[in-house]
Structure 1
Amino acid sequence: MRGHISTRKIAILCFKKDRDKLKPLKDILDERYSAEFIYYSQDIWDSLLNYGCIIAYLAAGIVVRGLCGKLKGKWVDPAVIVLDKPLKHAVVLMGGHHGGNEVARVLESAGIEAVITTAMEFSHGLSVGVGFRRDVEAEDIIRAINLALEEVGAGIEDVRVIATVEAKKGSVIVDVADRFKRPLIFVSAEEINAMDIRETEAVKIGVRNVAEACAIFSSNTGELLLPKRVYGGVTVAIAR
């Protein structure tokens, strides 16, 4: 399974004196994302919330106290990674499902071990990809997912993750994931369009595919069990 880091930049939070030490990490990150140095000060925390991921070369306590009270919710907050002093470990504190785990693994090419704690990374199960029109309700999506699962002889207890396109952030899909008590992953248009996958009517909104692409992207093996099914204003696909 792959995580996802949004198109927002990565902030490398550190003291100015540590810039040269961390420059090789920035070079690695820039090959895949866009990273920039942000130098620590007590009033820096509000501006950091605009980044997709924060990599902090600071004590974890400083980071926790700085962000505490400013976070809005797991679906909108940046991923947070803390590097230990000898640069041996990258500990994902927050946002593992939303890019933190992915970025930590990218840092492994610099000899830094990713410390992953999210259970989804070590679990097996189905990946449910979902697309839906603006006017659908959470109940419509829940019903569609349950119907799709019935088609493969499974239930919600067999689902590891629900995935949809990044444009659906802040929509009713958040309520769906909360009610099912399952992790939710948002996949960017860039990631979908880079996949070797058939085109559907979703090209009208700038992506080659939605339900199938999101299911496969977030799956363990990339095997599509249930191609796209349409249930009213909702499309569902299932992979494992």
Structure 2
Amino acid sequence: MKETVVISLKQFSEDSKNLAGSINADYLPYKKEVFIEAFGKYKKIVAVMSAGIAVRGISGLLKDKWTDPCVVVVSPDLKFAVPILGGHHGGNELAKEMSELGIIPVITTATETRGLMSVESVAENIGRQVLNKDSTREVNAAVLKGTIPKYVLTGPAIALVEPSVSVLLRKGEYIAGVGCRRGVTESEVLEALNRAFEISGVKQDEIFAYTTTKLKEDEKGLISAIGKTGGTLVFLDDDIINAEKPESPSRASDKIGLNSVAESAALALSKRKEIVMKKHIFGRVTVAIVR
């Protein structure tokens, strides 16, 4: 299955099938439930129809701009391509791609209309993704006012950033939450992670980031172990962790004022809030994996 699909009304099917072939996309004829089907399968949707039909079709399906597919409406005469959803998440690029076919892209996102690149676009161009998603609104607003600095850090390193700083990390689908006892060793953490990967079926290079409570900022064994994996370890504040509702609350964590560490921390940074492996205890280390 391809990552893009073209959907059109019956009367525009021939032109739409040709369009699908030109952009390496699947084709689906329009029907009442077609957007429900497409949302579950495709990352990019091209709708050859009026914007009104497309908007009504997707209105009840929207969940999160970071996980929803991008949607580009193409006018039935194939003259204009208008991203109506996910402009910063592939929609603008898809519309521009179709300009090679003579279709005019109509871009409405504030940064791109001024010839600037959003945080999301920068991340996509360099093969990264945004860790702290809430930061993008403030950073993109600053981009509109003028250039903002960009810093590249090479690890191992520790970076403390404010909420208005967007952090771009390697791409991945999963967050690994890690809790541990005081004085845990590097080898204990690495062994626990390896066992977690075996149980969950998730590969180490699919991990977007590792996370735990800020109470572990001085835990040398944990920090060293994550450094050996080449991953990024994110320390979270208590309020962020306690805002989540883990499937497996922890009595041990309750002693330090947290509902859990591994599961809640992973949920806090995850994209889809889907628990792939609920917390497992491996000796003095607890690991949970969330998508």
Q: Which of the residues 223, 228, 234 maps onto 2:279?
A: 228
Q: Which of the residues 237, 244, 251 maps onto 1:188?
A: 237
CA displacement, residues 70-117 of structure 1 (integer Å, 9 cap, x when unaligned): xxxxxxxxxxx9x989833444537897544x414xxxxxxxxxxx57
CA displacement, residues 13-32 of structure 1 (integer Å, 9 cap, x when unaligned): xxxxxxxxxxxxxxxxxxxx
Which residue in 1 is equivalent to 2:39? none
d(CA) in 2 for partners of 1:153 and 1:225? 9
Preserved contact between residue 193 and residue 287 of structure 2 (Cα < 8 Å): yes
What does residue range 118-137 of structure 1 map to in structure 2 within 5 Å? 118-120=168-170, 123-137=171-185
Q: Which amino acid aligns with 1:208?
A: N
Helix, strand or coil: the match of 2:265?
A: helix
- Asked which structure has the greater CA Rg, the reply is 2
Q: 1:148 to 1:103 in 2, by over 3 A?
A: same
CA RMSD in angstroms comes to 2.9
Q: Which amino acid aligns with 1:206?
A: G
List alignment gaps of at least 5 residues for structure 2.
1-138
Q: Which amino acid aligns with 1:87?
A: K
Do residues 103 (structure 1) and 164 (structure 2) align? Answer: yes
Q: 1:206 to 1:85 in 2, by over 3 A?
A: closer
List alignment gaps of at least 5 residues for structure 1.
1-80, 105-115
Which residue in 1 is equivalent to 2:151? 93
1:128 Cα deviation from its structure 2 partner:
0.5
Q: 1:158 to 1:89 in 2, by over 3 A?
A: same
d(CA) in 2 for partners of 1:144 and 1:221? 24
Preserved contact between residue 124 and residue 220 of structure 1 (Cα < 8 Å): no
d(CA) in 1 for partners of 2:147 and 2:241? 30
Identity of aligned residues (%): 24
d(CA) in 1 for partners of 2:250 and 2:283? 17
Which residue in 2 is equivalent to 1:28? none
TM-score by length of 1: 0.53
Preserved contact between residue 192 and residue 285 of structure 2 (Cα < 8 Å): yes
Q: Which of the residues 229, 250, 254 maps onto 1:203?
A: 254
Q: 1:230 to 1:94 in 2, by over 3 A?
A: same
